[in-house]
Amino acid sequence: MSEFKRVEPIDSTPFKAPATQNVQGWERIGSLAGGVVMVGRGLRRGGLFGLVQVALGGVALARGITGHSSAKSFLEQGRRDLDKARAKIERTGEELKSLKTNAEAATHTATVTGNDSLKSPEAGV
């Protein structure tokens, strides 16, 4: 039988664009509703704080309309990186366990003669 190596998917390539929508369902509806409310309050309030509120509302509206959030993409990428690191650590741990098991098995069959080959080498050498 032949052994197959585990194939991991490639997240992105130069020829494949990342998914454009990462906000769906109620999250998207909430962004739209929150954006409308914030823009309305900001316009009624006026001044510098009103302008900030209009800007934040506009960002929420854009998030709801396009269905894409750059901040969410950034956080999801970080989570994927952590998952990959965890998988590598777990694989390394399994390899270390098997090395330890093999070393213990090898030492059980070894015998100790009490001779140090550096201090008293074999006569025929």
For the segment 53-65, what is each residue's pLDDT rounded down to a tens digit?
A: 999 999 999 888 8
The closest alpha carbon to 66, from 27, 106, 118, 38, belongs to: 27
Between 92 and 11, whose confidence is greater? 92
Between 114 and 59, whose confidence is greater? 59
pLDDT for the residue numbered 43: 93
Give the contacts of 42 (CB within 8 A, at least 6 positions apart).
Answer: 49, 50, 51, 52, 53, 54, 55, 56, 57
pLDDT digits 0-9 by tens, 68-89: 888 888 888 889 999 999 999 9
Between 116 and 96, whose confidence is greater? 96
The closest alpha carbon to 69, from 59, 83, 80, 78, belongs to: 59
Domain boundaries, the chain: 21-68, 70-106
Judge contact between 23 and 68, C-beta under 8 A: yes
pLDDT for the residue numbered 125: 53
pLDDT digits 0-9 by tens, 21-49: 778 889 889 999 999 999 999 999 989 99
